[in-house]
Structure 1
Amino acid sequence: MFVPLALVLLATGAGCKRDAAVDGAPVASAPVATPQAPAPKPSAATNAKFPTLKVNTLDGQAFDLAAQRGKWAIVNFWATWCGPCLKEMPELSALDAMREHIVVVGLAYEDTTEDALRTFLVKHPVVYPMALIDVYNPPADFDTPRGLPFTYLIGPDGAVVKKYTGPVSARMLEEDIAAAGGPAAG
């Protein structure tokens, strides 16, 4: 049976991996399939069951994951050079705008400046808060992304419900929220 490569990559959760730079500009590799291996055991520093996250957003506000208790939180690691990241941004923005029980925060995981990121977001606007994080010192309670996009679904109690390597869709997130006991989509 012939299955198009694009479908295989989508089905396996393929995303972007950063390979190299050309003339100082980052280059994204072709999507790489992520093998479905058992989740690693939690450690004290990463993969915390109840992660903490406090970041300053590009609009000058503070985002505190603990303040989002009672809502489903989507923590999305992304980069401007990642095609699948850019493709999922409008859906994440719509989820944040249309669902009162969902909050999204974007964590730009790349070596750039806040001004460059603000300029980028003028061309690719979203309604959810964005923060630029240090790629050399990412948030301690989250795994270091091995590919982008990399997304966490956090339950209303603050516990990690699911992690996704590769692109997500609004439908996928809403189905996983419903499966974890949250409201059904719609």
Structure 2
Amino acid sequence: MTLRPISLLLLLALAGCGAEQSSAPAAPPVERAAAKPASSKQMPALTVETFQGGTFNLADHRGKWVVVNFWATWCAPCLKEIPDFNAFAKSRPDVQFIGLAYEEIERADMEAFLKDHPIDYPFAILDVYNPPADFDTPRGLPMTVLVAPDGKVAKTFLGPVTSADLAAAIDGGASAVQ
């Protein structure tokens, strides 16, 4: 069980509330396993099987900007982003895209959708009941997360975003971290 900082503070405050000292013996020290670097929403991990048949691992793209775009086939603003993202992805070798289709859709239905809306960058269909743990669950679509070359989240866009918005954030170093 992992305690959140607020839970830990509450636990410490409650521990200090008891005025009487306990005569119970102290618990034996707990042996801790070696700490592994944990992923977090600040430096997220993401590994998904792509619709195209490969595996996308965010960690494999360190050194590049990565655009993580949550979208759906029924989302009109998402559909407007696709051609713009296709062009931007082709024009910027320093940027990697991964689309995350946030909907329940059968493969055949997605294949039919792609005939009218081709996507030139890798994407995966997410289980809406089990979204990636290191990313905020979308409160609306589209939602785009810009991950910097060091693997940290640089900016999150809720709502439609253009390649000009992405270029400004990337070329400006995404100084407005959100």
TM-score, normalised via structure 1 length: 0.71
1:141 lines up with 2:130 in the alignment? no
- 8 Å CA contact 1:58, 1:118 repeated in 2: no
AA in 2 matched with 1:81? W
Cα distance in 1 for residues equivalent to 2:108 and 2:149: 33
1:57 lines up with 2:50 in the alignment? yes
Cα distance in 2 for residues equivalent to 1:158 and 1:170: 20
1:156 alignment partner in structure 2? 149
What is the deviation of 1:174? 0.3
1:118 lines up with 2:107 in the alignment? no
- 8 Å CA contact 1:46, 1:143 repeated in 2: no
AA in 1 matched with 2:85? L
2:165 alignment partner in structure 1? 172
Task: Encode CA deviations 1:96-133: one digit per residue, 9 max, x unaligned.
Answer: 11111001110000111122112211210021011000
3-state SS of paired residue (1:140): coil
Q: Which one has a bigger Cα radius of gyration? A: 2
Cα distance in 2 for residues equivalent to 1:50 and 1:160: 6
Select which of 71, 79, 84 maps to 1:86: 79
Cα distance 1:99–1:117, how it changes in 2: closer, same or farther (>3 A)? same
1:16 alignment partner in structure 2? none
2:8 alignment partner in structure 1? none
- 8 Å CA contact 1:51, 1:160 repeated in 2: yes
- 8 Å CA contact 1:75, 1:151 repeated in 2: yes
- RMSD of aligned Cα (Å): 2.0
Q: Which has the higher strand share?
A: 1
For residues 41-80 of structure 1, the aligned pairs below 5 Å read 48-80=41-73
1:96 alignment partner in structure 2? 89
Cα distance in 1 for residues equivalent to 2:109 and 2:83: 20
Cα distance in 1 for residues equivalent to 2:166 and 2:122: 18
Percent identity, aligned pairs only, is 50
Cα distance 1:61–1:157, how it changes in 2: closer, same or farther (>3 A)? same
3-state SS of paired residue (2:138): coil
3-state SS of paired residue (1:48): coil
Cα distance 1:146–1:46, how it changes in 2: closer, same or farther (>3 A)? farther
TM-score, normalised via structure 2 length: 0.74
AA in 2 matched with 1:58? F
Q: Which runs of 5+ in 1 are unaligned?
A: 1-40
What is the deviation of 1:181? 6.8
